[in-house]
Amino acid sequence: MSHVTAEGPASFFAGKPLRFIAATILLVNGMFPALWILFTSLKTEAELTVKPITWFPHAPTVANYMQAFSDQPLHVFLFNSFMVALLSTCLTLLVSVLAAYALARLNLKYRGLILSAIIAVSTFPLVTLLVPLFEIMRALNLLNTWIALILPYTVLSLPVCTLMLVSFFEGIPRDLENAAMIDGCTRLGALFKVVVPLCAPGVFTAGILAFVNAWDEFLLALSFNSNPALRTLPVGIQLYQGEFAFPWPVISAALVVGIVPVAILIVIFQERVVSGLTAGGIKG
Amino acid sequence: MTTSTLTTTQRIEKEPPAWTRMLDLSDRALAVLLLAPAAILLSLIIVYPVARLAYTSFFSLSLTSGLPAEFVGLENYKLMIDDPIFWETTWNTVLITLITVPGALVVGMALALLANLPFRTQWPVRLSLLIPWALPLSFAGLIFAWFFHSEYGVVNDVLNRFGIPGVIWFNSPNLAFAAICLTIIWKTSSFMALIILAGLQTIPRSLYEAADVDGAGRLRQFFEITLPLLKPAIVVALIFRTITALQTFDIPYMMTGGGPGTSTSTLAMYIHQNTVSFLDLGYGSALAVVMFLLSMCVTVVYLRIIRTKG
């Protein structure tokens, strides 16, 4: 990117002062809430009730983290969230790779119709399915199981992942698959041995989006899995609040524990995530 | 790489009929096979439930009463029309949509314009837009509930520092509603900003340079170059945002639980309450049908826009 150092009235817009102000606004807007919860989690209960409130913890303590794990089975919530997100991501990728390949490579008669249907599903309000899914899961005895969440989460991310993968697959030259098939691969073999490895970055990006979607979901997890042993993190965090007390430092510690895994994912794969998000948005 | 592709094409030229004919034969079967898993999942989780939803909405089915489902026709819908909480929660949902969607657009646009400045290091900027997106909605609700805490919240602390007395945010319906809307705008504007930023980066510099030569000011350049070129990206982002705004649940649930009273309750929260707390599946279904129709209207507009784009 070229650095514009224009002279005259426009210079402020490209100049250092503006960039400094802009960076400050962006960073405060993006990071402050997470940082604030981190500060809160390091404060003692006594420091919390001092007025006027302190911004930085005076005597940072990790006691709240210990308490977060001992008051409630936080590790169980984490494990449930992780497994549900991971399994639904794998299922989403498997199903959407197959569907996207058909849509990208085979000359389907109803391709336009199927794509429209997928777009329509991508805007589907999952809330409306609360009642029927609740009935179905109840009838199948699946309430308070991972499956009750894995299946809806898979469908939640399926449309976006499929649309993304279609565009990735269309960018792979057909010759490469043909070569594999001549060398004795079946078409499916060519898909998994040639196309998917070549699209690995794209498949991976789709996977991150699906994982974050599942990690964030709250309503269905709240409605289907109320048993503390099967709660996911967003639902489990509610258990910290007593009837009258709201132990903010401990809740903050639990929130930080829940934010860290996704934050790590985002920090490492930030460019990929941005490209995946915006590809979906711009292409529609 | 190049040599192997070359030999491939040569080989294909040598014996094209063999594999092409085989493919033509199996194309349809293969398509069915590949699309089947997606189709099965979608029918199980979406198509069948939607049908069941419409069906259940004509029944009186309450799991607490222990009575078998009884066909009541449009009774649930009649109940709904006379139910002030239905109207209140629907109105809240529409209001949240009308406030937070344009709000997120304006804030997102501002963030995107700031992020588009020529920073030497890009990753802090990118990260500051990604973190709010990746933060679960329910977490954002809790964090901002703590922000707006009347005694120890940072918002009242900042107000105090400017000499403004702090307020008890969650005791007044209007203030609680405002706090919720601000939280939703914060949470959703960064996704909007990412989409707009990607659009901004595709606009060629030369357009602005030409406008500079023609003597067009910054403001005019924004309205005559930037906005028109960003329109397609913005429209798609707005539609998605609108549909998710209609489903607002996590943030008000975590911040106020719908209170005081039901003044900040949304339609999604009312559906959840009827289904999971009251186990009144018939009425919950009728409410969900309304939500379904609301969002279908937006989806139809969306599909039409995409089709006209080609």
CATH for A274: 1.10.3720.10
**Cβ distance of B117 and A19 shorter than 8 Å:** yes
Nearest to A31 among B117, B128, B236 (CB): B128
Asked whether residue A245 is assigned to any structural domain, the reply reads: yes
Asked whether residue A3 is assigned to any structural domain, the reply reads: no
pLDDT digits (tens, 9 = 90+) for A120-156: 888 788 888 888 998 889 889 999 999 999 999 999 9
Structure tokens given for A147: 């499956």
> Residue A195: how many CB atoms within 10 A of its CB?
23
User: Do B249 and B268 contact (CB within 8 A), yes or no?
Assistant: yes
Asked whether residue A53 is assigned to any structural domain, the reply reads: yes
**pLDDT mean over A71-78:** 92
Backbone angles phi, psi at B53, to 5 degrees: -60, -50
**Cβ distance of A133 and B152 shorter than 8 Å:** no
Position B194, amino acid: L
User: Is the CB of B111 inside 8 Å of chain A's CB atoms?
Assistant: yes
Position A13 confidence tier, pLDDT thresholds 50, 70, 90: low
A56 and A133 within one domain = no
Domain range list for chain B:
18-71, 79-309
A209 and A125 within one domain = yes
Inform me whether the pLDDT recorded for A205 exceeds 60.
yes
**Cβ distance of A179 and B11 shorter than 8 Å:** yes
SS3 B36: helix
CA distance A150 to chain B (A): 11
Q: Which of A61, A83, A104 is the last residue of a domain?
A: A61
Nearest to A182 among B19, B130, B275 (CB): B19
Inform me whether the pLDDT recorded for B151 exceeds 70.
yes
Which chain B residue's Cα is nearest to A270?
Answer: B127
CA distance A9 to chain B (A): 10
Asked whether residue A195 is assigned to any structural domain, the reply reads: yes
Q: Which residue has better confidence, A32 or B15?
A: A32
CA distance A102 to chain B (A): 6
Highest mean pLDDT among A59-63, B81-85, B211-215 belongs to B81-85
CA distance B100 to chain A (A): 17
Its pTM stands at 0.87
A234 and A124 within one domain = yes
Q: Please give the CATH number for the structural domain made up of B79-309.
A: 1.10.3720.10
SS3 B59: strand
Identify the CA nearest to A105 among candidates A163, A162, A169.
A169
A227 and A120 within one domain = yes
Structure tokens given for B34: 């590949």
Asked whether residue A2 is assigned to any structural domain, the reply reads: no
A184 and A56 within one domain = no
Whole-number Cα distances in Å, A211 to A256, B132, B267: 18, 16, 27
A138 and A169 within one domain = yes
Q: Which residues fall within 8 angstroms of residue B34, CB to CB, at 6 or more apart?
A: A98, A99, A101, A102, A106
A220 and A89 within one domain = yes
**Cβ distance of A132 and B285 shorter than 8 Å:** yes
User: Do A206 and A96 contact (CB within 8 A), yes or no?
Assistant: yes
3-state secondary structure chain A: CCCCCCCHHHHHHHCHHHHHHHHHHHHHHHHHHHHHHHHHHCCCHHHHCCCCCCCCCCCCCCHHHHHHHHHCCHHHHHHHHHHHHHHHHHHHHHHHHHHHHHHHHCCCCCHHHHHHHHHHHHCCCHHHHHHHHHHHHHHCCCCCCCHHHHHHHHHHHHHHHHHHHHHHHHCCCHHHHHHHHHCCCCHHHHHHHHHHHHCHHHHHHHHHHHHHHHHHCCHHHHHHCCCHHHCCHHHHHHHHCCCCCCCHHHHHHHHHHHHHHHHHHHHHCHHHHHHHHHHHHHHC
Q: Best interface-test mutation with B: which of A128, A213, A232 has the largest number of B CBs within 10 A? A: A128
Residue percentage of chain A with pLDDT more than 90: 41
pLDDT digits (tens, 9 = 90+) for B233-243: 888 888 889 98
Nearest to B152 among A14, A48, A233 (CB): A48
Cα distance between residue B206 and residue B124, in whole Å: 27
Position A18, amino acid: L
Number of domains observed in the structure of chain A:
2
> Domain span at residue A166?
66-283
Name every chain A residue with its beta carbon within 8 A of the beta carbon of B135. Answer: 33-34, 259, 262
Asked whether residue A100 is assigned to any structural domain, the reply reads: yes
User: Do A205 and A275 contact (CB within 8 A), yes or no?
Assistant: yes
Inform me whether the pLDDT recorded for B250 exceeds 80.
yes
A85 and A47 within one domain = no
A268 and A211 within one domain = yes
A84 and A56 within one domain = no
Structure tokens given for A281: 């948005």
A125 and A90 within one domain = yes
Asked whether residue A1 is assigned to any structural domain, the reply reads: no
Question: What pLDDT is recorded for position B7?
Answer: 47
Q: Best interface-test mutation with B: which of A16, A28, A116, A130 has the largest number of B CBs within 10 A? A: A130
> Residue B66: how many CB atoms within 10 A of its CB?
6
A205 and A151 within one domain = yes
A-proximal residues of B, 67-106, CB under 8 Å: none
